[in-house]
Amino acid sequence: MLKRIAISGLLMFLLAGCRPGGHQPESGVTTNTSAPAAVAADAQVFPDFKVKGFDNQEISLSQYRGKIVILDLFATWCPPCRMEIPHFVALQQAYAGKLAVVGLSYDQGAAKDVLAFAKNMKINYDIYWGSEEIARFVGMRGIPHTLVLDAQGHVVKTYVGYQDKAVFEKDIQDLLGKAL
């Protein structure tokens, strides 16, 4: 019985995600809070936010238009975030040229710490500092908070909390099929 309770607690933790201001799961966070992969006529285009790299250079997120984008808002201390990163590494490799995974770090630490984390996790996609402006725009309630954008920049899916690789792969396949 105790083992069953522990497993249930772990599952709730993974599905809930982490609060960006602390290191504890947020209760009541839903996953998959979006419309289907078919883009509605009134689908929201993700604004052309500017973000800073770890070298303090500013880039525009619109540079990724033309590809499907998985935008991952994460932190290095968040266990569900850490569990999703290998999925994104594999997807970036499998769909090279058609997909851009972009990580936005909401860590409070130094750039060198996030870069060391990225190296340790073998991250093969671009990561930048997240911004309060983006967090407000997406209504970030917890992390990981992941958006799937079509090649025109429309937000087609939003997930809060851990998601399995198959969830993102299905979204990619749906968008690639729609583009054919």
Q: What is the pLDDT of residues 115-164, one digit of tens each?
A: 999 999 999 999 999 999 999 999 998 999 999 999 999 999 999 999 99
Per-residue pLDDT, 14 = 42
pTM score over 0.85: no
* 152/14 Cα distance (integer angstroms): 31
Worst-scoring range by mean pLDDT, 10-24, 27-41, 136-150?
A: 27-41
Bridge partners (DSSP) listed for residue 148: 70, 157
Per-residue pLDDT, 101 = 98
* 95/172 Cα distance (integer angstroms): 9
Q: Which amino acid is at 38?
A: A
Strands 99-105 and 68-74, bridge-based pairing: parallel
Question: Does domain 2-179 sit in CATH 3.10.590.10?
Answer: no
At 72, is the secondary structure helix, strand, or coil? strand
Share the mean pLDDT of the chain: 82
Q: Which amino acid is at 169?
A: E
Per-residue pLDDT, 178 = 76
Instruction: Tell me the pLDDT band of 13, cut-offs 50, 70 and 90.
Output: very low
Domain ranges of the chain: 2-179
Per-residue pLDDT, 44 = 79
Among the listed residues 73, 172, 63, the one whose alpha carbon sits nearest the alpha carbon of residue 131: 73
At 163, is the secondary structure helix, strand, or coil? coil
* 37/92 Cα distance (integer angstroms): 19
CB 70 within 8 A of CB 99: yes
